[in-house]
Chain A
Amino acid sequence: MFETLSHLALQQYWWVIISLVGAFLVFLMFIQGGQTLLGQLGKSTVERDMVINTLGRKWELGFTTLVVFGGAMFASFPPFYATSFGGAYWIWMIILFSYIIQAISYEFRKKPGNIMGRKTYETFLFINGLISTILIGAVVGSFFTGSEFSIDNLRMTATSTSASSITRWEASTRGFEILANLQNILLGLSVFFLARLQGALYVINTVNDQTVFNRSRKQVIYNAVPFLLFFIVFVIMLLSGEGYAVDPQTREIYTEANKYLHNFLEMPLVGILFLIGVLGVITGILRTLLQNSTKGFWFVAAGTVLTVFSLFSVAGLNHTAYYPSTFDLQSSLTIRNSSSSHYTLTVMSYVSLLVPVVIGYIWYVWRSMNKKQISSDEMESEEHAY
């Protein structure tokens, strides 16, 4: 069935998948956010154990989603993989380092003989939560603000190492310059506070302990306010600023005033999803604060997925360059000039049919594991606790 679709339709389909994976990645950052709240939520050993264990049963899902985001980008838009990872070298390396130290921390933290002691591993978790949210947010911000790189296929025919690089990052700061842009920083901080907000809500949802519950509620307020503030300013800048458009006929790339606002208006479904998403996040916050509900997490989760999904959509769909180059406008990546071939996208589209299956069993496992809230009794009796 996919082989009959046009190349453009497949490219759009794949951008939608990428947007979906990106959306789930940001949602699952509640784990990272929770990691930065350890000190505030868990003062005693048992409290901290409960928080770590509830997050620890999910951390691999977030980790895997990052890996799949990378893999899906590689398979569907390989020039992005080559340009961004090889270009913004240091930003990605720092993100990766933060994930290395996350991966071992849950498992090693309380094991005898772990050399560095419990505190070090908890600090590792904090660092991962702090760095990965801000930096990944900022990198996604650069999908709207652009980076300095150039692309020339013919360099492939040069025979020396440096002359043969098709894609070149032209900023010598190798990714750090992304952090010099206010709009990127705003998105980074939004993701950071959103992750913390979600983390607190997840703890409320899964931990059965009054003290931890009260502390988490406080954190919902402390993080919801800065999140909303940073996010609103980001959205205002995004919609009022210029964006990178591509002419569907000539394929020429040019800057257009209010491009992303136009994208929302020209793709009303995406605009509506965005509004529902934002509404969902606000509903989740209010339900938690006003009604003492433990289900606020799910509203914020759904809201986050929809909001991030629609942001990715306006970055790449509707004749937009999703990875703009401010160094050489015509080197900018669009879904049309940087996708895999029709054949590869067709193959991968069949593979994508597995995604609902994956979501299905994750949901099933999630429900059977989270049926009962985590309690202090469980921490003492469980045969294998982090």
Chain B
Amino acid sequence: MEEALVDWSRAQFALTAMYHWLFVPLTLGLSFIMAIMETIYVKTGNIKWKKTTQFWMTLFGINFAIGVATGIILEFEFGTNWSNYSWFVGDIFGAPLAIEGIMAFFLESAFLAVMFFGWQKVTKKFHLTATWLVALGANLSALWILVANGWMQNPVGMHFNPETARNEMGNFWDVLLNPTAVDKFLHTVSSGYVIGALFVVGVSSWYILKNRHIRFAKRSMVVGAVFGVISSLFIVLTGDSSGHHVAQTQPMKLAAMEGLYEGQEGAGLVAIGVLNPEKEVDNDKDPFYFKVKMPKLLSLLAERDADAFVPGMEDLVYGNTQQGILSTPKKMEKGDRALTALKKYNEAEEAGKDSLASAHLETFRANYPFMGYGYFDQPQETVPPVGLTFYSFHVMVILGFLFVLLFLLVIWFNLKDTILQKRYLLVAATWAIPLGYLASMLGWVVSEVGRQPWTIQDLLPVGVSTSHISASHVQLTFWLFAAIFTILLIAEISIMVRQIKIGPK
């Protein structure tokens, strides 16, 4: 019953987030591409660039509407389905959400109307400014929501108030400049730029394959591919930096991403591999059926030192005294102590026993960093789903590198002016659109599934984050969301495809 509530709440959030993420990345990337195109139009006065901009804007609009529709649900779900979480950290987590609304959403919504309907109503320059502001607004909103997410992965800049049972913000700048948040923002928005670029290059390729709108397609394709190659090189850099920070703050997630059970010095990075599904932390089976490793790269990624030790899941669960890693059962003991002390502190306060209260408070503070572990029964519960995390990570990385290659080839053949003959490349570029979405989605799977069982790393497990509601209610809303989002997605794709077939005016 209780597990069902947690699972359905999780499923509902995952569903909403996944649907939302089908639409947002294109908004992030395409908004900049449109702004660049419109800038070329304003600079050159060439009406063809205006038509080009307007065509991509139509697609942007269709996509934007449904992104907004799914986004509102995500925000409110923190309250509707994760009310204990909202109570526990609203003080910190609410702030970026509110700032996102004030700073970003209004910018987008006010200037979107100018962008779509203002061509005849405002000056060229004002219109161009509006387009850039929409792009800025979209990206600013990504910043704040990813600051919020980064904080869940690596909670910093706060302290716990034992009287209200709430965490309070201690330093706003720590929350904003949290290295995990910065990585998260840069890596995620650049994935949006790559999707925007893949979309423009892919649709343009399709036109060339169909022998339609050739000049329009080539014009769009070059802007898209140049934007894409810059973005995908950037994504590699931010990916590397993300990996490094995950190692520092969420070693369990990193171990799951790599299928690393036993820690090693000079650990290699798995290039490609097949996991043994029967392997668990508490058996001696071989973790892999097959793998190709790149020597020492994991140590280099994690610790910036090719010979450094990288802990595996077994080290993290059972401890490793040599490396100074505390075992999970020890952490659970400390967590228990924190929870008990918190309770006793409040009881003593109420009874007016001040000295007793302060003694309990001291115990609580000493054990607070492990408080979340107090909610677990078994140390193995702290291991995330390894298979899903591992495969998602590796497929994402492989696709990421393939996109760099794709953009480079597109640019190269455009420079040589032989792109029209490279049909295999054009077909590949068309198919790369869904692959771009897949890669980006898998990135979120790595980030969020790899964080399990925590809502907030080390502080609050998912199991005690939910609202107080019976699972059947959540189950019903899950199916309602699934139905409506699926219908809207089908309508959206159908409209998009139709618009693409109609083509630029």
B112 at the interface (CB under 8 A from A): yes
**Selected interface stretch from A39-47, A95-103, A248-256, A293-301:** A95-103
B77-117 vs A, CB cutoff 8 Å, 1 = contact: the mask equals 01111111011111111110111111101111111111011
Complex Cα distance, B72 from A71, in Å, reads: 10
Residues of A with C-beta under 8 A to B119: 383-384
Complex Cα distance, B137 from A354, in Å, reads: 14
A211 at the interface (CB under 8 A from B): no
Contact of B68 among A63, A81, A159, A365 (CB under 8 A): A63
Also in contact, A57 and B117, with CB within 8 A (given A92-B76, A115-B490, A344-B95): yes
**Selected interface stretch from B167-175, B209-217, B253-261:** B167-175
Residues of A with C-beta under 8 A to B375: 159, 164
Contact of A67 among B101, B161, B466, B498 (CB under 8 A): B101
* A64 with B109: CB separation less than 8 A: yes
Residues of A with C-beta under 8 A to B169: 340-341, 343-344, 347
Question: Which one of A92, A99, A384 has the highest number of Cβ atoms from chain B below 10 Å of its Cβ?
Answer: A384
- Minimum CB–CB distance from B145 to chain A (whole Å) comes to 11
B43-86 vs A, CB cutoff 8 Å, 1 = contact: the mask equals 00000000000100110011011101111110110111111101
Could you tell me which residues of chain A, from 337 to 365, have a CB within 8 Å of some CB in chain B?
340-341, 343-344, 347-348, 351-352, 354-355, 358, 361-362, 365
Residues of B with C-beta under 8 A to A169: 468-469
B140-169 vs A, CB cutoff 8 Å, 1 = contact: the mask equals 000000000000000000000101111011
* B83 with A100: CB separation less than 8 A: no
Question: Which one of A106, A107, A369 has the highest number of Cβ atoms from chain B below 10 Å of its Cβ?
Answer: A107
A368 at the interface (CB under 8 A from B): yes
Contact of A165 among B3, B83, B112, B170 (CB under 8 A): B83
B415 at the interface (CB under 8 A from A): no
Residues of B with C-beta under 8 A to A60: 68, 108-109, 112-113
Also in contact, A74 and B5, with CB within 8 A (given A63-B68, A106-B65, A159-B374): no
A78 at the interface (CB under 8 A from B): yes
Could you tell me which residues of chain A, from 81 to 137, have a CB within 8 Å of some CB in chain B?
81-87, 89-90, 92-93, 96-97, 99-104, 106-108, 111-116
B109-131 vs A, CB cutoff 8 Å, 1 = contact: the mask equals 11111101111111000100010
A158-177 vs B, CB cutoff 8 Å, 1 = contact: the mask equals 01111011111100001000
B282 at the interface (CB under 8 A from A): no
* A68 with B80: CB separation less than 8 A: no
B279 at the interface (CB under 8 A from A): no
Could you tell me which residues of chain A, from 134 to 163, have a CB within 8 Å of some CB in chain B?
153-154, 156-157, 159-162
B2 at the interface (CB under 8 A from A): yes
Complex Cα distance, B499 from A354, in Å, reads: 38
Contact of A107 among B61, B81, B374 (CB under 8 A): B61
Complex Cα distance, B489 from A108, in Å, reads: 11
Complex Cα distance, B165 from A96, in Å, reads: 29
Residues of B with C-beta under 8 A to A113: 494-495, 497-499
Residues of B with C-beta under 8 A to A362: 106, 110
Could you tell me which residues of chain A, from 173 to 190, have a CB within 8 Å of some CB in chain B?
174
A76 at the interface (CB under 8 A from B): yes
Also in contact, A166 and B121, with CB within 8 A (given A64-B101, A93-B80, A157-B342): no
* B168 with A340: CB separation less than 8 A: yes
Residues of A with C-beta under 8 A to B113: 57-58, 60, 365, 369
Complex Cα distance, B492 from A340, in Å, reads: 40
* B473 with A90: CB separation less than 8 A: yes
B477 at the interface (CB under 8 A from A): yes
Contact of B5 among A108, A162, A368, A383 (CB under 8 A): A162
Contact of B498 among A61, A75, A93, A112 (CB under 8 A): A112
Complex Cα distance, B431 from A212, in Å, reads: 49
* B98 with A63: CB separation less than 8 A: no
Complex Cα distance, B58 from A112, in Å, reads: 12
Also in contact, A159 and B79, with CB within 8 A (given A71-B100, A86-B468): no
* B480 with A97: CB separation less than 8 A: yes
Residues of B with C-beta under 8 A to A67: 71-72, 75, 101, 105
* B69 with A81: CB separation less than 8 A: no
Could you tell me which residues of chain B, from 463 to 488, have a CB within 8 Å of some CB in chain A?
463-464, 466-469, 473, 477, 480, 484, 487-488
Contact of A108 among B76, B89, B495 (CB under 8 A): B495
B250 at the interface (CB under 8 A from A): no
Chain A residues bordering chain B, tally (CB within 8 A): 84
Complex Cα distance, B492 from A378, in Å, reads: 26
Contact of B98 among A57, A159, A351 (CB under 8 A): A351
Residues of A with C-beta under 8 A to B490: 115
* A153 with B94: CB separation less than 8 A: no
- Minimum CB–CB distance from A352 to chain B (whole Å) comes to 8
Chain B residues bordering chain A, tally (CB within 8 A): 100
B491 at the interface (CB under 8 A from A): yes
Residues of B with C-beta under 8 A to A368: 114, 118, 121-122, 126
Complex Cα distance, B467 from A108, in Å, reads: 35
A382 at the interface (CB under 8 A from B): yes
Also in contact, A74 and B467, with CB within 8 A (given A79-B90, A164-B84, A383-B119): no
* A104 with B101: CB separation less than 8 A: no
A25-56 vs B, CB cutoff 8 Å, 1 = contact: the mask equals 00000000000000000000000000001000
A261 at the interface (CB under 8 A from B): no
B320-343 vs A, CB cutoff 8 Å, 1 = contact: the mask equals 000000000000000000011011
Question: Which one of A115, A168, A355 has the highest number of Cβ atoms from chain B below 10 Å of its Cβ?
Answer: A115
* B339 with A369: CB separation less than 8 A: no
* A70 with B161: CB separation less than 8 A: no
A66 at the interface (CB under 8 A from B): yes
Residues of A with C-beta under 8 A to B122: 368-369
- Minimum CB–CB distance from A151 to chain B (whole Å) comes to 9
Complex Cα distance, B375 from A45, in Å, reads: 61
Q: Which residues on B are within 8 Å of A, measured CB to CB?
A: 2-3, 5-6, 54, 57-58, 61-62, 64-66, 68-73, 75-76, 78-84, 86-95, 97-103, 105-114, 116-122, 126, 130, 161, 163-166, 168-170, 172, 339-340, 342-343, 346, 374-375, 463-464, 466-469, 473, 477, 480, 484, 487-488, 490-492, 494-495, 497-499, 502
A sample of 30 inter-chain contacts (CB < 8 A) reads A60-B68, A60-B112, A61-B110, A63-B72, A67-B75, A71-B100, A72-B101, A74-B90, A75-B95, A78-B86, A86-B86, A89-B80, A89-B469, A89-B477, A100-B488, A104-B488, A108-B495, A111-B495, A113-B494, A113-B499, A114-B491, A153-B165, A156-B84, A156-B464, A340-B90, A340-B94, A341-B169, A344-B94, A347-B169, A382-B120
Q: 5 tightest CB-CB pairs across the interface, nearest first? A: A78-B90, A85-B79, A86-B83, A113-B498, A74-B94
Q: A60-B108, A111-B62, A384-B117 are in contact. List 14 more A-B contacts (CB 8 A).
A: A63-B68, A67-B105, A78-B86, A78-B89, A86-B83, A86-B467, A86-B469, A96-B76, A108-B491, A115-B487, A154-B346, A347-B169, A355-B102, A369-B122
